[in-house]
Amino acid sequence: MAVREYLIPKEGFRVLFFIGKGGVGKTTGSAAVSVTLSKKGYKTLIVSIDPAHNLGDVFEVKLNDKPKQIAENLYAMELDMEKLIKAYLKHLEENLKHIYRYLTVINLEKYFEVLSFSPGIEEYATLEAIKEILQKGDEWDIIIFDTPPTGLTLRVMALPHIALIWTNKLIEVRRKILDKRRAIENIQGERKFVVDGEEYKLPSREREDPVMKELLAYRGEIEFVRDIITNRDRTSVVAVMNAEMLPLYETERAHESLKKFKIPFNLVVVNKIIELEEEVPKIKVRMDAQKKVLRKIHKKFRDVNIVKVPMFEEEPRGLEWLERIGGLIVGD
Amino acid sequence: MLEGLKAFLKGFFSSFKEQSTEYIEFEERELENVFALLLMGSFVGIPSPPSTLVLRLMPHMVREIYVMQRRVADMDDIFGEMAGMFDIT
């Protein structure tokens, strides 16, 4: 069987997202694929964006937020979300220093404290992290994301779409403000705005208005991410599940929402399938149940490839094991 | 004498100019207020734009936040402001 072409680069670098319920084997599956693809000569980066990291445990090395070489062509890293969020706030603080005096007048410090706990900040931090990796994506042939359990991942993948709606609306309002300012400026001449002894020139043109510039820059960045993750030739989502009903329901839901956001979903990996030659009555029941679910999976996901990975006698860790499983998934 | 006349005319025209943009400045302030409010959504429990975008815009929002604050302070006399604008006294 040939290598599945949606797992290898076609147009620039290839991005793979491994999604699934907690504990089904996302990390093992993604690590396995990364090992196999790197052996084929693709320079591969595997990134864990799951706050509960265990990618390092699978490779049996300690990882941090810089790519670390595991083997030839294979690099791995674990992102520290908490550190990322802290870094944002620090960055913000620095940005704010120059208007600090003004802030003490209206006491906005509290506002930023609230903001750092605002709902969704984790998802946005994750999106930001993905964006940064994709911006430097040309260093790699393949980038594999090992994601947190489905719920959070789907929200993150929906974000570019939602963020663009917001940004476009804000740009619209901003344009109106600048229109008004220009109209006033035509009559009054250049306007100054004085607050707390500081004088600001009121910007009225798009290219001199820092708010507009920031809005347009942000839109550009988000569009960049969206264009990559909705491009069939660049991104594939791989769902990992077990042959049980609950993971099946969840994978179906994921399938639906990915379709809504036009993110290509190509492969289902059914992990931990019990294959046993001798008859053990208690395990037989379990095996029959798995077979039933497998039939359902085949019926539900007609347009998606399905790969079965058996349950092994020992926990698959270390490069050799990973390569064996990766071979099954990549198709070799 | 000539200086005095000049100053008078200048004052006359500038007040004339100011009056001519009064309404449009009111509209501008309203929009700036709305813009700042949108970014503050998470404070009052309405859906708010991407937090990262808000964080990036905040440092440039001096004027808008100032307008918003003043708007809130004037909230109790909104009819007064309207009346003032339409010369009803």
Q: In angstroms, what CA-CA distances link A77 with A2, A152, A294?
A: 29, 20, 33
pLDDT digits (tens, 9 = 90+) for A35-74: 999 999 999 999 998 888 889 988 889 999 899 999 999 9
Distance in angstroms (rounded) separating the CA atoms of residues A316 and A31: 11
Q: Using the beta-carbon criterion (under 8 Å), do B35 and A202 form an inter-chain contact?
A: no
| Alpha-carbon torsion, ordered B29, B32, B34, B37, to 10 deg | -120
Mean pLDDT of chain A: 87
- Under the banding of pLDDT at 50, 70 and 90, the label for residue B4 is confident
Integer Cα distance of A15 and A302 in angstroms: 23
pLDDT in tens, A92-125: 666 666 555 555 555 556 666 666 676 777 788 8
Q: Of A12, A48, A73, which Cα lies nearest the Cα of A323?
A: A73
| pLDDT reading at A90 higher than 90 | no
**Chain A (215-274) residues lying within 8 Å, Cβ to Cβ, of chain B:** 215, 218
* Amino acid identity at A324: R
Look up the pTM and report it.
0.84
**What average pLDDT score do residues A205-218 get?**
94
- Rounded CA-CA distance A332/A330 in Å is 6
Question: Would you place residue A212 in the very low, low, confident or very high pLDDT band (cuts 50, 70, 90)?
Answer: very high
- Residues in chain A with CB shorter than 8 Å from the CB of B10 are none
- The string of pLDDT tens digits covering residues B29-84 is 999 999 998 888 776 777 888 888 887 888 788 888 888 888 888 777 777 777 77
Q: Given this model, what pLDDT does residue B71 score?
A: 84
CB contact at 8 A, A121 and A159: no
What is the predicted pLDDT for the residue at A37? 94
Q: What is the ipTM of this complex?
A: 0.79
Q: What pLDDT was estimated at residue A52? A: 80
Domain parsing of chain B, residue ranges: 1-88
Inspect the interface and report whether the beta carbons of A114 and B27 lie closer than 8 Å: no
Q: How far does B75 lie from chain A, in Å, by closest CA?
A: 17
CB contact under 8 A, A163 and B50: yes
* Nearest Cβ partner for B59 among A99, A163, A181: A99
What's the pLDDT score for residue A98? 58
**Span A311-325, pLDDT tens digits:** 888 887 788 888 989
Looking at CA atoms only, how far is residue B55 from chain A in angstroms? 7
Residue A98 in contact with partner chain B when CB distance is under 8 A: yes
Q: Does A211 touch chain B (CB under 8 A)?
A: yes
In chain A, what residues touch B55 (CB-CB under 8 Å)?
88-89, 91-92, 115
Which is nearest to A180 in space by CA: A157, A199, A161, A204?
A204
Mean pLDDT of the region A83-90:
74
Interchain proximity B28–A184, CB inside 8 Å: yes
Counting Cβ atoms within 10 Å, is residue B74 exposed (0-12), middle (13-18) or buried (19+)? exposed
pLDDT bucket at A280, cuts 50 / 70 / 90:
confident
